[in-house]
Every structure is written in structure tokens, then in C-alpha cells.
Amino acid sequence: MSFSGKNIRNGIYAAVAVCWIAAPVFLSNYQTDVLNNIAIYALLGLSLNIILGYGGMFHMGHAAFFAIGAYTTAIINTSYGIPVLWLLPLSGITAGVFALVVARPIIHLRGDYLLIVTIGMVEIVRIALVNNIFGITGGPNGIFGIASPQVFGHPINGIVSPGHYFYLLTAFLAFTIAVFYLLEHSRYGRALKYLCSDSIAAEGSGIDTSGYKLSAFVIGAFWAGMVGNLYAGKITFISPESFSFWESVVMFMIVILGGAGSIPGVLLGAILIIGLPEFFQELQQYRLLIFGIALVAMMIFRPQGILPPKPHTYPVDKLDEKEVTL
Amino acid sequence: MSLLRVENVVKYFGGLVAVDNVTFDVPDGGIFGLIGPNGAGKTTVFNLITGNYKLDKGRIVFRDMDITGMLTHRVVALGIARTFQNIRLFSNMSVLENVLAGYHCRMTSGAVAAMLRLPNQRAEERRAVGRAMAELHFTGLGSQAENLAKNLSYGNQRLLEISRALASDPGLIILDEPAGGMNEHETTALVDLILRIRNRGITVMLIEHDMSLVMRACEHIVVLEHGKKIAEGTPEVIKSDPKVIEAYLGSEDDDI
């Protein structure tokens, strides 16, 4: 069975990966920058997918975690001159700690209730940034002059040479995909899927549902915080506008449209939602209209998303008889 | 020695007393039945034991440990597993993954170990799959491992719930109407399965409407009516208890 569905699928993934990596060679700087945006949103989508896709929690405030990561990097880099990439883990940690504190009291909320509270959360964060909270966020103007990341002493400027930044983002994206794939097919990933499917049955099977919900928020926020770091390093200037409620909606749509709980689905969702509008620039004013119609149609005809998750197969045949014991 | 002790347990739903000062002991190693007419409070008692409901008064002791008010997943980790009356499977996941849910509390690898694919984590995954397959063979679902849970027949879905509960290595397994919706043939197979579970050293607690099943399988029975315990004893004692007969068939006076 050399042409099984799985092999064909893997072939397609490999072809897409090769095209993606080779793309900047053939594209203009502007077009490469679009790819960079796709990569950023793909990363954000993947991090939201932990919470929304596997865990099934309607979280529409993901931009808040993204913002906290970006501002952590911006503030510390501009004040103390610590290189941007060194701040990558710290940006993740601040966002993760924020998620731990904020998500804890709301974790038991279900469905639309959680949705509304998380919308409130992202708005509060944005307004706090606008109001120059603690006098360190620069208010509505934001923070200028963030350094570009350096790799082995070479600065990688996201504005002047998006082609170089592309490979930085792609490397992080590849790492993220690998790590999240392993997470999805582990005890941890399964626990999130159980509680998404039926939280009472999950709890009754011995799964600490509130603990897992909270940790999903923390991991998703940690990753979004790291993406915030790469984003701040890319555009070197951040302001509260970049982290509005609308950004959260875009991330939410990427996951739902592409396929909640599916890594290929989220990647496709990012390509479609961030990339496609670039092709329809002539249509300008009709863009959102078409977008809206497409979303409504999707929700009616394919609510599970374009590429829903495939069932995982376990190596049952490879087990020895003596491993199958009570 | 009793494995589980339910002591003076009271549960209100609003003004209604769902469970009214119920006390009983589940002996270690047998098959224990909890029966009673509809609305007698049987499932409520189960939900109190497993921590799904908070009790208003009384206490519950398992293996000399007070588990009153403990969170459900902690109760499972201590060794009380359950099935649900209205089947609750993870319907879009495979049969094998459903059983792995039960073994979850016997595993330790977390998110970081998974992301780094540590050798311990991989060995543990392999062990878990082996154990889950063994549980599926035990209940006779071995050939269905790769199927989605929702595609199983009704009877097999009940068996899958039992497999999932067994995978958590329980000392006590609570089966809530396991024969519901089963035909006579399947019920006979179920009795055989329950006996085999007991022979593994697991105490079985059974809620059941099907009196023939209860009388065939159980060694000790408690009867509830309107939230109160009205009788307790061996099947022979219960069968001839006038209060039980009245509860199930109505007293002669009611017919007039």
C-alpha cells in the first residue's frame, strides 16, 4: 500500500513545505512580508488551537496574551537593551503567568459565557495599554525603536529584509508544529480532547478537567507570548492597535475555519484568512462581504472546518503479546 | 472489612430529600447491588460516592479514607471507577482512545515530556496502549479498537464504558444500569463479565432495574425507596421481604 491516503497526505505536506521554504526566492519583499504575516498568524492560530481546538474552550481573547509577550519584549529591550531573542522565553513566561492569574477564576465557565469573559479580558488589556498602565506602555502611541533580533551576531531586520525574517519565523513555525504534533498525540493532548468531548465523562474517568483547562490556557498563552516577541522584533514598533479585539477574532476564525484541533487545518486557515485577501485587492470594498459569506457558508456546510483532525492510529500491531496484559 | 462505607448520607434537591440518611457498607471483594424503583435515589447515591454531587450531611469512607466532598478525578485515582447510566463515551474518538482515558490517572507524563518525546514518556505510552488493548480483549471488544466509539452497537458501547472504567485499576467499580437496553443474550454475557471482574479482585457495585440480573449476580443487596433504605441482605432475604415487594408491586390496598 504505497499509495495509501496517509502517504498521499504526507506527500502533499512535504510539497507544501518545500514550496513555502523556496517561496521568498521568487517573491518581492512585499509578498514575502505577506508570508511573514501568515507565519505569525499560523503560530498564533496553533497556540490558540491548544485552547480552542483540543480543549474546546471558546476563547476569543488570545490577542491579550500576544500583546503581553510583545510588550514584555518591547519594554525590556528599549529600556535595558537586552537582545530581542533572549527575551523570547521571558515573553512567553509573562504571558503564561498572566493567563494563569486571569484564567483561573473563569475556567469553569462554559461555551458562550467563557467567550464573553475572554472578550472582556482582551479589551481590558488593550485599554490598559492605551492608558499607559504603570507608565511603561507608551499609551496610544505605543513603543518605538525595538531592536531587530540577532542570530549569531547578524541583525535580522523584518522591514528591510523580510526574506531573512521569513526564515527565522519559518524555523520557529517548524519547531512549533513538531512540538505541538507530539503534544497532540500524547497523554496531555488526549486529556484535552476528552474534556472537550465530554467533560463529565472525562472527570469521571480520572482526568483533572479544571487543571487541564487551566494548563491549556497557560501553554497557549506562553506560545502566544513568544510569538509576540517575534512580532515586536519584526516590526520594531508596537501599539495597542495591533492587539485589538479584531485580532482575536481573526485568530479564532483561523482555527474554526481551518479545522479546530487539526494542525494542517490551522495552517491552511492562516493561509486563507491572511493570504487570500491580498489576492483580491482590486475588490477592496467587497472583501469583507465575500469573507463574511464564505464564513457563513462554511459554518452551514462544513462546521468541523476545511481540514478537520484525522483520527490517530496507535501501534497496536507492533505490541508483543506479553505487553498486552492486565 | 468494608471497602466502602456510606454513613448517614443526606442529599437535598431544593425542598426534595433525594437521599435520606442512608447508611450501608460495601464488603470487600463481592458483588453488591443497589436497587429500588424509579426515583428512589440510587443514581444520586452513586453520584455522591464519586463526587459528582456534594452531599449535605454524612460521610463516605473508602479504604479507611474519608472521601467526602473529594473531586471526582481524585476519587477515581484512589480506586473508584464508574460507568454512566446514559452512556457517556468520547464518541468521536477511537475505542482504544476511550479506554486510554481510564488509564490516564495511572500515567504521569505531562506536556513537557510529550513535547520533548522523552524515553520515559514513549515507554509509558506503549505500556498504556498495551494495557488498554488487554482491557478491550477482556470485555471482548479487542477487534473494535480502531473503530470510533459512536459506531459501536448500544451493547458494545456499554462494554466500552466498562473497559474504560477497568483501565483505571479500580478497587471498586460502580456500574449504573449496565444491562439497560440489552437483550437476554447480552445480559447473560454481562453477568459472566461481572463475575470475571470480581474474580480479578475488583469489588463490583451494581445499580440495576433488571431484577433477574441482580438476583443472579449480587451477593449483597441494599434496597432504596424514596431516598430511604428499606431493606438489606442476601438475594433470598430481599426476595421475600414484604417491604420490597410492596415497593416494587404496590401494596394490596393500592389496587382499590
pLDDT (tens place) for every residue of chain A, 326 residues total: 456 788 898 999 999 999 999 999 998 889 999 999 999 999 999 999 999 999 999 999 999 999 999 999 999 999 998 999 999 999 999 999 999 999 999 999 988 999 999 999 999 999 999 998 898 988 899 999 999 988 888 888 878 888 889 999 999 999 999 999 999 999 999 999 999 999 999 999 999 999 999 999 999 999 999 999 999 999 999 999 999 999 999 999 999 999 999 999 999 999 998 988 877 777 777 777 887 888 888 888 888 899 999 888 888 888 888 888 88
CB contact under 8 A, B137 and A324: yes
If one counts every other C-beta atom within 10 angstroms of the C-beta of residue B196, the result is: 12
- The per-residue pLDDT for range B174-189, each reduced to its tens digit, is 999 998 888 888 899 9
Chain A CB contacts of B117 under 8 Å are: 182
- The per-residue pLDDT for range A302-326, each reduced to its tens digit, is 888 999 998 888 888 888 888 888 8
CB contact under 8 A, B50 and A204: yes
Question: Where do the domains of chain B lie, and which CATH numbers do they carry?
Answer: 1-79+170-256 (3.40.50.300), 89-169 (no CATH)
**Full 3-state SS string of B45-102:** HHHHHCCCCCCCEEEEEECCEECCCCCHHHHHHHCEEECCCCCCCCCCCEHHHHHHHH
CB contact under 8 A, A206 and B90: no
Q: Which residue has the cell 474518538?
A: B93
How far apart are the CA of B115 and the nearest CA of chain A, in angstroms?
A: 5
Taking CA–CA distances from B164, the nearest residue in chain A reads A205
How far apart are the CA of B11 and the nearest CA of chain A, in angstroms?
A: 20
Residue B32: closest CA among B70, B64, B5: B5
Residue A179 sits at the chain B interface (C-beta within 8 Å):
yes
Chain B CB contacts of A197 under 8 Å are: 90-93
CB contact under 8 A, B133 and A324: yes
Residue type for position A92: G
Domains of chain A, residue spans: 26-244
Residue type for position A181: Y
- Please state, in angstroms and rounded to a whole number, the distance separating the CA atoms of residues A62 and A149: 24
How far apart are the CA of B219 and the nearest CA of chain A, in angstroms?
A: 25
CB contact under 8 A, A190 and B50: no
- The per-residue pLDDT for range B8-46, each reduced to its tens digit, is 999 999 989 999 999 999 999 999 999 988 888 999 999
Chain A CB contacts of B111 under 8 Å are: 183, 186, 188, 215, 219
Alpha-carbon distances of A112 from A47, A70, A80, B116, rounded to whole Å = 20, 28, 42, 34
B253, pLDDT greater than 60: no
How far apart are the CA of B39 and the nearest CA of chain A, in angstroms?
A: 22
> Residues of chain B with pLDDT > 90: what percent?
80
How far apart are the CA of A307 and the nearest CA of chain B, in angstroms?
A: 15
C-alpha cell at A134: 504603570
As separate numbers, helices (DSSP H) first and strands (DSSP E) second, chain B gives 10, 10
| Strand blocks (E) in chain A | 150-151, 154-155
What's the angle, vertex CA A56, arms to CA A52 and CA A58, rounded to 5? 60
- Please state, in angstroms and rounded to a whole number, the distance separating the CA atoms of residues B233 and B242: 13
Q: Are B99 and B146 in contact (CB under 8 A)?
A: no
State which H helix or E strand residue B178 sits in: none
> Residues of chain B with pLDDT > 70: what percent?
96
If one counts every other C-beta atom within 10 angstroms of the C-beta of residue A246, the result is: 11
pLDDT, average across residues B144-162: 94
Cα A23 → chain centroid: 22
Predicted local confidence at residue A2, as pLDDT? 56
Taking CA–CA distances from A319, the nearest residue in chain B reads B130
- The per-residue pLDDT for range B218-251, each reduced to its tens digit, is 999 999 999 999 999 999 999 888 988 888 776 5
Predicted local confidence at residue B256, as pLDDT? 43
Contacts of B197 (CB under 8 A, 6+ apart): B162, B166, B173, B204
Predicted local confidence at residue A280, as pLDDT? 73
Predicted local confidence at residue A159, as pLDDT? 84
Residue A317 sits at the chain B interface (C-beta within 8 Å):
no
Size of interface A-B (CB pairs under 8 A): 136
Q: Are A203 and A209 in contact (CB under 8 A)?
A: yes
B255, pLDDT greater than 60: no
Residue A317: helix, strand or coil by DSSP?
coil
Chain B CB contacts of A202 under 8 Å are: 90, 101
B93, pLDDT greater than 70: yes
User: Could you say which DSSP state residue B26 is in?
Assistant: E
Predicted local confidence at residue B65, as pLDDT? 94
Predicted local confidence at residue B252, as pLDDT? 55
Predicted local confidence at residue A166, as pLDDT? 94
- Please state, in angstroms and rounded to a whole number, the distance separating the CA atoms of residues A86 and A84: 5
User: Are β-strands B220-225 and B228-233 bridged in parallel, bridged antiparallel, or unpaired?
Assistant: antiparallel
Q: Are B247 and B36 in contact (CB under 8 A)?
A: yes
CB contact under 8 A, A194 and B90: yes
Predicted local confidence at residue A74, as pLDDT? 95
